[in-house]
């Protein structure tokens, strides 16, 4: 799976920098900057705590994660 950016032109999504073959299945997540998410104070604290924890924990690169997932998928 890979993420690609596109723009709607004439009601169709046009991807930037690459053409996808006909029949390629895609999932589209619509970015709406004018909307905001309002969290309850409790959920806001939980989110901030999770972000702080993520900053403290050493992670792995996306490439390493995908390699591990490919290994799991082959077994």
Q: What is the pLDDT of residues 15-52, one digit of tens each?
A: 887 778 888 888 887 777 666 778 899 999 999 998 88
Confidence of residue 10 (pLDDT cuts 50, 70, 90): very high
Domain assignment present for 11: yes
User: Would you state the pLDDT for residue 40?
Assistant: 92
- 68's CB contacts (< 8 A; 6+ apart) are 60
Total domains in the chain come to 1
Domain assignment present for 1: no
pTM as predicted: 0.35
- Domain carrying residue 11: 6-74
Domain assignment present for 65: yes
Residue 3 confidence (pLDDT) above 70 = yes
Domain assignment present for 49: yes
Domain assignment present for 21: yes
User: Would you state the pLDDT for residue 43?
Assistant: 93
- Token representation of residue 41: 């104070």
- 5's CB contacts (< 8 A; 6+ apart) are 15, 16
């Amino acid at each position: 799976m890979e993420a690609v950016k596109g723009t709607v032109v004439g009601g169709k999504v046009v991807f930037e920098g690459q053409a996808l073959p006909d029949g390629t299945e895609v999932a589209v997540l619509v970015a709406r900057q004018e909307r905001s998410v309002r969290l309850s104070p409790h959920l806001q604290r939980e989110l901030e705590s999770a972000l702080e924890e993520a900053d403290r924990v050493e992670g792995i690169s996306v490439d390493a994660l995908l390699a591990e997932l490919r290994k799991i998928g082959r077994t």
